[in-house]
């Protein structure tokens, strides 16, 4: 079952804030986008907002389809 596509939107950040997120992302071996998403999920959880667990990215080749 395919997950719904992620919502894309422009986000303007202070350059110092972006640099701090970038450093944190590098330390966690994540992209800046994944780090922002993780930080937002953590902040919402602290406020008591419940979210479904994120769908992990599908990796590798898609399965071969039967040519029957």
DSSP codes joined into one string, 14-56: -HHHHHHHHHHHHHTT--HHHHHHHHHHHHHHHTT---PPPPP
Mean pLDDT computed over every residue of the chain: 88
- Taking the model in full, what pTM does it have? 0.72
pLDDT tens per residue, range 22-35: 999 999 999 999 99
């Amino acid at each position: 079952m395919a997950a719904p596509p992620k919502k894309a939107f422009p986000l303007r950040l202070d350059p110092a804030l972006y640099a701090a997120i970038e450093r944190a992302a590098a330390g966690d071996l994540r992209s800046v986008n994944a780090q922002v998403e993780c930080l937002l999920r953590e902040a919402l959880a602290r406020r008591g907002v419940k979210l479904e667990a994120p769908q992990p990215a599908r990796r590798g080749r898609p399965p071969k389809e039967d040519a029957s």
